[in-house]
Amino acid sequence: MKKILDSVLDNKRLTKDNAIELFLNTTWTEMVQAAHQKRVQLNGEKYASYTVFKTLNYTNICKINCNYCGFKYSEDSKDAFVLSLQEIEEIAKDCKANNINQVLFQGGVNPNLTLDYYLECLNIFNKKYNLHVRGFSPVEFIEFAKKIFNIKISDLINKFKTAGLGSVPGSSAEIMTPEMRKFLSPHKPSAQLWCETMKNIADANLQSSSSMIIGSNETVTDIVQHLDYIRTLQDKTGHINSFILWTWQKQTNFPVRHVSGVEYLKTLAFCRLYLDNIKHIEVSVLGLGKEIGEIALNCGADDISSVVINEQVLNSKGLTTIQESEELIKQAGYIPLLRDFNYKKKESP
């Protein structure tokens, strides 16, 4: 395995076959050591970054019905909600008053909301209060365009951008092999359509991120194929700034398994080695906690993807203040850099 690792550190690309062999036959310590060297090659050894944003879920009504999701409700449920435009404006005001300049704007696929609702939300956040909106997902764009508003996906994306959309998270991916799509979210679009929509996002000159979630019944082959979808897409577009590895949290009766710290760090390191064309790897401090977050900065990751304010979908184990974020980064041996969603960085305040 040393020969494969050395070739990766010599900027040779991992093939899918070599990647599977590497994952199965390399210890986690060997993997993270190599990934840290790759992290230093790409990002240096002086800094680690963090960001600050507010998560805003505008509705929990969703028609997709993914097997694992505990956030969705039907429109007739007593727990269902849609934020009004007045509530949206109050949230925007509060962000501005508290020096929060970024909003992650996502929700369920609610067939009852109008195009004007989304455009006005974006206008309030961006045009009225000058907040960067990272919003929606490829799946939301596909469902909105094809099944609700009956327009081209590219036209919808451009309408949202004109209204104030600043970037798009590459979420709703989980693991996109056909077998895992069928198991996790059989009503979501295929990997091909997800990637095509990400290409539309790039064509609109909107930057994005990417992700993967482990902890169900995925195989190493599933992991490699999922990463290959993302790497191939990045070869075509160059618009993906970062990749984050998540683990499943139990929300329903859907079976999830415990992912140990060792498994998470080995997989994170493997992602760093495979995704040679994505500069930044984020550790999910929100999902894994501070201890894993600190270690991960020396296992291939260069960003902690925090501070997250008002997380509603996941049980947060993350950081709630800038001070906490900076302390974690310093404890890991780095100088903190504050960044925005698109990885424009500045010295910490």
DSSP sequence for 137-165: -HHHHHHIIIIII-S-HHHHHHHHHHHTE
Question: How far, in Å, CA of 81 to CA of 78, rounded?
Answer: 8
Q: For a pLDDT cut of 70, what percent of the chain falls above it?
A: 96
Angstrom CA distances, 67 to 64, 186, 301, 314, stand at: 9, 8, 30, 16
pLDDT at res. 67? 80
What sections of the chain are H helices per DSSP? 2-9, 16-25, 28-43, 85-97, 115-122, 138-143, 153-163, 178-184, 191-203, 220-237, 261-274, 285-288, 290-296, 322-331
pLDDT at res. 89? 97
Q: Inform me whether the pLDDT recorded for 269 exceeds 70.
A: yes
pLDDT at res. 314? 43
Q: Inform me whether the pLDDT recorded for 142 exceeds 60.
A: yes
pLDDT at res. 347? 58
pLDDT tens string 96-105: 998 999 999 9
pLDDT at res. 348? 54
Q: Which CATH class is domain 13-340?
A: alpha beta
**All structural domains of the chain with their residue ranges:** 13-340
User: At 346, is the pLDDT very low, low, confident or very high (cuts 50, 70, 90)?
Assistant: low
Q: Which is more confidently placed, 228 or 349?
A: 228
pLDDT at res. 115? 97
Q: Inform me whether the pLDDT recorded for 249 exceeds 90.
A: no
pLDDT tens string 5-16: 999 999 999 999
Question: How far, in Å, CA of 18 to CA of 15, rounded?
Answer: 5
Name which of 271, 212, 232 is nearest 22 in CA terms.
271
pLDDT tens string 184-218: 999 999 999 999 999 999 999 999 999 999 999 99
Question: How far, in Å, CA of 183 to CA of 185, rounded?
Answer: 6
